[in-house]
Structure 1
Amino acid sequence: MPLLDRGRRIVAGYERLDSAEPRDRRRLIDAAEQAKEYSDLLSYRVKGTKRQQREEGAWVGLVPFGLHIVNKRTRKLSHDPGPWRIVLLIYRAAANGVSTRTIAKRFNFAGIPSPSGRQWRAGMVQKIIHHPVYEGLQVEAAEGNSRVSRPYRNRHGQRVSVLDEGVEPIPAGLVRSARLTVSGRVQRGTGARKAKHLLAGLVRCAGCGGSMASTGESYRCGRVAAGAHCPAPAMALVAKLDAFVTESFLSRLDSGDSEDDLLGVVAKSWNALSRPRETEAAREALDALKEAEGARERLLRDRQAGLYEGADLLFYELHDEAKRDLEAAQERVSVHAAHVVDISFLLDSVCLQETWDAADLPMRRDLLRLAVARVTVRKAPRPGAKFVGEERVAVEWLTEA
């Protein structure tokens, strides 16, 4: 044991064992190894059970707001009538352009209890809007530090329903409209949320690192606009900054070659923007391939750990099935990989300029975001100084982010 090797002393009060006693040392080591084996086996069984439950569409974990488990055996979900009406209100309001903060304020004013039983917050509303369960989909934890759940895919790369038979999810069109509106890509009504400037959401203040608000004819440090402090608040005229970033974008693409990583990023982004259905199908194929590879690796690790000892026939049956799934997933990926993305118009300076000139503001915003991650603006050296983009602006490309 590492602790004993470093000279640490271990005392087990209940068993009356002391690592300082030579006769107790082996008993402590054996007990620790047995406990580790039991813990590993228990963890393996729990993970396997949860994986199987997800495959079958059984809900694992706490039940989301607005739903309840209708059958304890299948653990399928159904509407909880009262809270479900609140969920519908959230999606409809968001789709109509009402901000998540306004939705929360209205619920609090009306005395509607939140999922936690306390005050509603914008984050709660946004979490409900983006949660896959309201589409009727099984979920799993996202990778990394993200707290947002993502749709679960079975070993064939397919999404799994968690709703009981006859239970309808939020309509797909309403879900899409609400999410796009909340993310700012689609605007509803005539509210102030409508993006009126090319770089809205991309510009950052170098003084504090916060976003810059587009107000009137200028981009200003968002902290200062909100009445807070910034050590070096940046400000730039909309026309000047838009023109500089546009020129940087057009020049950057025009100077690219076949070895430029940014062109690969642009191709993927343009494919997702112009062919959403094909892009989703390709993503599902890649997810299926990843799951099939993982299933085969888990099977081989389990056999190496001795879990199939004395059951060779079962192992080979499962191995053949995993191999077939892997080959089918590879075939799906190869089919989608055969589609070539045509971005030639983005690489020809004349075509790109013509496309840019003919595009409306939403299209220009989408084109710019194919390559630009963020734009950072520094404070002018003195009041009234001439705007020099090369000295005050840093354009960060997606390959650098």
Structure 2
Amino acid sequence: MHQDAFCDLYLRLSLDRDGKTAIERQEADCRAWAERNGLTVRKIHMDRGRSGYKAVERKGFDAALAAVTAGVVGTLIVWKLDRLSRKGIGQVGKVLDDIEEAGGRLVSVLDGLDTSNDSARMAVVMLAELARSESKNLGMRVGHAKRYLRSKGQWIGGQPPYGLRIDAMTRKLVHDPEYADYARLIADEALAGTSLVKIARLLNEHEVLSPRGGQWNAASIMQLLRSPAFAGLMPETETVETEDGERKYTGRVFPYRDPYTLETVGIGEGIISVGERERIIRTLESRTFVHAGKRRPKPEGTALLTGIVHCAVPGCGRRMHRVGGSYQCMARRAGNQCIGASAVSEVVDQYVAEQFLAKLPALEPDDPLLVVITDRWLHRADPETFAKRDALTAEMKDEEARLADLEDARFVRGEFEGTAAVERYDRLAVRLRGRIDGLRGDLHRLRMPSVDVSPMLDGVTLREAWTDATNEGRRELLTLAINRVEVSKGERGRRIVPAQRIKIHWAGPEGTGNPAGTPRQVRSKQE
């Protein structure tokens, strides 16, 4: 089969530091195994700084699995099984089933495992559970180590607050001579009652860069002022227990207290004193609306165009959020340098909704927008199938490009001269054409889901569905057909004219994920 001669490598490293298992070593060992076994390495999928134990996104893992389960390659090679996953047989078992169903195999170089051998599956099960147990125990050891360092008042890792740095000898906070004065300026402004937005604008106007090198905003100022370490106190991030019994970090940071004395623990110098921190925290909390003795709860629903509507001011393009009764540019509200667009949310929502509800029923069967809507709906209904289709299509395009370059090399650039060279060209061309034909066959054999778009093309049915849906459901419908909505800045005191200030960017045919030349199974009212 065309894929049997090709393999992909999957490499992962949780912490890319000296003394750890380097990505380069993993790649070298995996490539050596592939060469010994006569396989050609097609592609390397990599996840740097991504845990195989925690519930985090791993794009490299997803792409590697899609390639082997789609039949783009016949073999997936990992350096060691725990590089693939540390979630136990729950995840590894599904990976094995998917690879086996596609007729592929998984190879773990250091473990000496090849799932083309029937006896390897039991060993994989044992190693998968062992890796999960090791990660769990490692988490416990790390927790004990952190508690020990906290008890000694030593920094346990991570970026210190702006204006402070870590002394290499004592592992405690000291003032950073380059930024401490700016940090103190922020504190003084906060103590004087200056709003966070105004502090951010002051820093941005004087071109004082944030810790990440960009502009300051209200959120970054808030995070800095609330940090216990900003006042020389040991910080601790709150954790909660998930449904599966694991611990998950929240965004809340508070001063660490010794479990025996219940006293806060110092971590060195702070930009502000503990007393100043308490004053700042009280000031910040006084600006937060309190209802029935509790902080304002999160609203049950969000605005209709959340995540879709953007500021159209040149050079901005940031998202707009609903604040009160208006959509407002968040860059402006956060203190960034933007004059800021703003518009009554009810007017914007109504205009966009009416445009959407009027446009869809008027679409012709061959309208490019209808094709995009269908593709997006299909992707949401069956993402795994489309991941495989995308992997096959991308590889087919790459091989077609190689074949075109090979043909140019012979017939345009004249690089194959003489009998031996022509014979070499023929061998390469036959191999590439066979590979392309095999990929095209796999693509056509892959199950293609169908979707009935007729309810969206019937004006009455669409409006009934719109009326019955929540804002979240309506937003799902909008994003099938709309990429983004832009609102330009209006003139103070003038009523908004939607057609002049609101621009809807309807979805285009490119970037929809539909492979060129593959059939779409669409059922519409016109059939």
Which of the five TM-score ranges fits, normalised by the shorter chain?
0.5 to 0.7
Q: Counterpart in 1 of 2:22?
A: 68
Query: Does 2:43 match 1:88?
Result: no
Q: Which residue of 2 aligns with 1:132?
A: 59
Question: How many correspondences in the alignment?
Answer: 278
Aligned to 1:255: 362
Question: Match of 1:157, SS?
Answer: coil
Structure with the higher helix share, 1 or 2: 1
Asked whether 1:382 is paired with 2:486, we answer no
Deviations 1:59-112 (A, max 9, x none): 79xx966752455742579xxxxxx997439x95xx6xxxxxxxxxxxxxxxxx
The aligned amino acid for 1:239 is: E
1:230 is matched with 338
- The match for 2:438 among 328, 349, 356 is 328
Deviation, 1:309, is 5.2
Residue 222 of structure 1 and its aligned partner are, at CA, apart by: 1.6
Letter of the structure 1 residue corresponding to residue 388 of structure 2: A
Alignment correspondent of 2:503: 394
Kept in 2, the 8 Å contact 1:207–1:378? The answer is yes
Question: Cα distance 1:326–1:210, how it changes in 2: closer, same or farther (>3 A)?
Answer: closer
Q: Say if 2:360 and 2:456, in contact at 8 Å, map to a contact too.
A: yes
Could you say if the C-alpha distance between residues 137 and 235 of structure 1 is closer, same or farther in structure 2, counting changes exceeding 3 Å? closer
Structure 2 partner of 1:275: 382
Q: 1:335 to 1:206 in 2, by over 3 A?
A: same
Other-structure match for 2:303: 197
Alpha-carbon distance in 1 for matches of 2:478, 2:68: 32
What is the DSSP-based 3-state SS (H/G/I as helix, E as strand, rest coil) of the residue aligned with 1:167?
Answer: helix
Offset of 1:388 from its aligned partner? 3.6
- The separation in 2 between residues aligned to 1:58 and 1:225, in whole angstroms, is 43
CA distance in 1, matches of 2:442, 2:429: 20
TM norm structure 2: 0.43
Partner SS, residue 88 of structure 1: coil
Give SS of 2:485's match: strand
Tell whether the 8 Å contact from 2:400 to 2:436 is kept in structure 1 after alignment. yes
Q: 2:179 maps to which residue? A: none
- 2-side partners of 1:160 and 1:205: how far apart? 47
What is residue 462 of structure 2 aligned with on the other side? 352
Q: For residue 218 of structure 1, what is the aligned residue in structure 2?
A: 326
Q: Which amino acid aligns with 1:132?
A: K
Aligned residue number for residue 167 of structure 1:
82
Provide the rounded CA distance (Å) in 2 between the counterparts of 1:352 and 1:277: 28
Report the CA distance shift for 1:87/1:398 in structure 2 as closer, same or farther (over 3 A): same
Relative to structure 1, the CA distance from residue 191 to residue 265 in structure 2 (aligned partners, 3 Å threshold; closer, same or farther) is: farther
SS of the equivalent of 1:369 reads: helix
Sort the Cα spacing of 1:327 and 1:207 in 2 relative to 1 into closer, same or farther, 3 A: closer
Write the mapping of 1:296-335 to structure 2, written as runs, cut at 5 A: 296-301=403-408, 303=410, 304-306=414-416, 310=420, 314-335=424-445
Matches for 1:133-148 after TM superposition, within 5 Å: 133=60, 135=61
Change (3 A) 1:221 1:73: closer
CA distance in 2, matches of 1:316, 1:339: 39
Say if 1:249 and 1:368, in contact at 8 Å, map to a contact too.
Answer: yes
**Percent of pairs with identical residues:** 23
CA distance in 2, matches of 1:337, 1:243: 39
Cα distance between partner residues in 1 of 2:415 and 2:71: 26
Cα displacement (A) at 1:306: 2.1
Q: Cα distance, 1:213 vs. partner?
A: 2.6
Alignment partners' CA distance in 2, 1:72 and 1:289: 25
Partner of 1:47 in structure 2?
A: none
In the alignment, structure 1 residue 157 sits paired with structure 2 residue 266: no
TM-score, length basis structure 1? 0.55
Asked if the contact 1:372/1:396 (under 8 Å) is kept, the reply is: yes
AA aligned to 1:250 is L
Distance 1:194 1:282, change over 3 A: farther
Q: In the alignment, is the contact (CA less than 8 A) between 1:138 and 1:160 conserved in 2?
A: no
Distance 1:335 1:138 in 2: 20
1:218 and 1:238 in contact (8 A); partners too:
yes
Gaps of 5+ in 1: 1-53, 78-83, 96-128, 140-150, 175-187
Query: Per-residue displacement from partner, 1:292-347 (whole Å, max 9, x unpaired)?
Result: 32343344345551288515555444433333222222223334597554322211
Q: Structure 2 vs 1, CA of residues 349 and 159 (structure 1 numbering), >3 Å: closer, same or farther?
A: farther
SS of the residue 1:396 aligns to: strand
C-alpha distance in 2, partners of 1:239/1:220? 13
Root-mean-square deviation over aligned CA pairs: 4.6
Distance in 2, Cα, partners of 1:199 & 1:73: 49
**Residue 9 (structure 2) aligns with:** 57
Please state which structure has a larger fraction of its residues in strand.
Answer: 2
Aligned match of 1:367: 477
Q: Which residue in the other structure is 2:140 paired with?
A: none
Determine helix, strand or coil for the equivalent of 1:305.
coil
Letter in 1 for 2:29: T
Partner SS for 2:328: strand
Matching of residue 287 in structure 1 with residue 394 in structure 2: yes
